[in-house]
Amino acid sequence: MNNSIQLIEKASRGKGLLNEEALYLLNTVPTKGDLFLLLLKTANRLTRQQFNNTAEIHAQIGLNWDTCSNSCQFCYFSEDLKNVSKKRELSEAEVIEKAKEFESYNVGSISLMATADFDFDKYLNISRTVRKHVKTVLFGNHGDLTIEMAREIKKVGFSFYYHALRLGEGKVTKLEREKRLLTMSNARRVGLLVGSCLEPIGPEHSYEEIISILDEMRNQGVAWMATMKRISVSNSPLNSYGEISDEEFAKITAVTRLYYGNKIIHYGCS
Ligand code: SF4
């Protein structure tokens, strides 16, 4: 039996994988053929077993459409890329209407997402109002949080806070790795669950970088984990790298799922 098959079998028990084991799978499993299918089927089966064959839809409301001074090179809203010609913000009434509509569909959670420059007090006020109108679990998604800001988020009634240490953080973004990690730890300290994502995956990322981010997220005790491939923004400097294939994305997603085992309470992919 080859090592990849043994590792996939080991991971099928839901106890997770070591960094070097996940790296080995990324390096050795191709994106077609029997081994590829075994990897995908094992990850799929583990997820179905852990979650009793049930999936949830998590809804998201984008509060604004605006440029962001952090100018992440993969982001359409980057100020440097100058893509946003017409700014827009949802009114409080519009946000409540959308939240109620999502609740009527029994979604698993509603995420309130704003670009990182969105005024924090305004974000809290809108979120507070939404909390009064819907009972569904709320997911916060804004910028970095100090411990005081994290307390405010918790007080509003959010259960989760979404935050990620992105691939290439600090190199293709103007944000500091340490602040991203501190935000996650602040969120956890005040009792929020942290939802995160391996993102945005592109052909420019080595498997070593991918494992290093997965390791950081696991050390941060994330409760909700997802994967997302980078979709090219046509005028971004990253556009020349192209995008990973759907098969490559599926492989990385399956290895991510096996890497975390059954410690994660939600898995997603977008
Ligand atoms: S911080 Fe968020 S909103 Fe701002 S540029 Fe980066 S990805 Fe876009």
pLDDT in tens, 188-230: 999 999 999 999 999 999 999 999 999 999 999 999 999 999 9
Nearest CA to ligand 1 atom 8: 75
Say if residues 31 and 220 touch (Cβ distance below 8 Å). Answer: no
**Residue 159 CA to ligand 1 centre (angstroms):** 22
CB-based burial label for 185 (10 Å; 0-12, 13-18, 19+): middle
pTM (predicted TM-score): 0.95
Q: pLDDT digits over 134-174, tens only?
A: 999 999 999 999 999 999 999 999 999 999 999 999 999 99
Q: Does the C-beta of 137 come closer than 6 Å to ligand 1? A: no
Tokens (6 digits) for 145 = 């949080």
- Confidence band, pLDDT 50/70/90 cuts, at residue 54: very high
Backbone φ and ψ of 35, nearest 5°: -65, -40
pLDDT attached to residue 165: 96
Buried b (16+ CB within 10 A) or exposed e, 35-49: bbebbbebbeebbee
Pocket test for ligand 1, best of 65, 73, 75 (most atoms within 8 A of CB): 75
